Amino acid sequence: MSSQTAPEQALILIVDDDYDFLEINRMILEKAGYRVVTAAEPKTALLRMEDEKPDLVISDLMMTSLDSGFYFARTLKEDPRYEKIPVIIATSVSSALGLDFRPRTDEDREKMHVDAYFDKPLDVNRLLLTIAELLGGGSAPAPAPWGAMTEADAPVAPDADAPDAALED
């Protein structure tokens, strides 16, 4: 994607086995002007990659299907069709367990096949700035601060008493 492309034209794929994470971050990114598709696991995400051709991917580190985000990122970066697509890894493992998976150098990032790394919960302003940099080569305008969002824009929790609907990946 060129630095001339507006954020509303950029498509972001979020891959996570946590439905709440998918929905909250989908709403945040859509509010910031991005188009967003989601997948609950890497196999579905690979199908989405073929169908949707996203400009950037945000993936969880560990998912229930045992396909780690690093494996998924490596799969993308080793495929000539997707090798140039930026990949952001997000995880709660490091904060929950005291483990540190963060790449320290450019060489670490290259070995891990990731372009950026975030601990959950995500720092939304930092995420939006990182996305703008990855998509626009650093020349994209800074997004409005997340705090500028009104209460009407906030995500609404699903009705706990409503029957479960089939989740779309």
pLDDT tens for each residue of 31-79? 999 999 999 999 999 999 999 999 999 999 888 765 578 889 889 999 9
Q: Judge whether residue 143 has pLDDT over 50.
A: no
Closest to 135 measured CA to CA, from 56, 40, 53, 77: 56
Band of the pLDDT at 148, cuts 50, 70, 90? very low
Q: Residue 85 half-sphere exposure, CB side, CA atoms within 13 Å?
A: 28
Q: Which domains does the chain have, with CATH numbers?
A: 8-138 (3.40.50.2300)
pLDDT tens for each residue of 86-138? 999 998 875 455 555 555 566 655 555 788 889 888 999 999 999 999 998 55
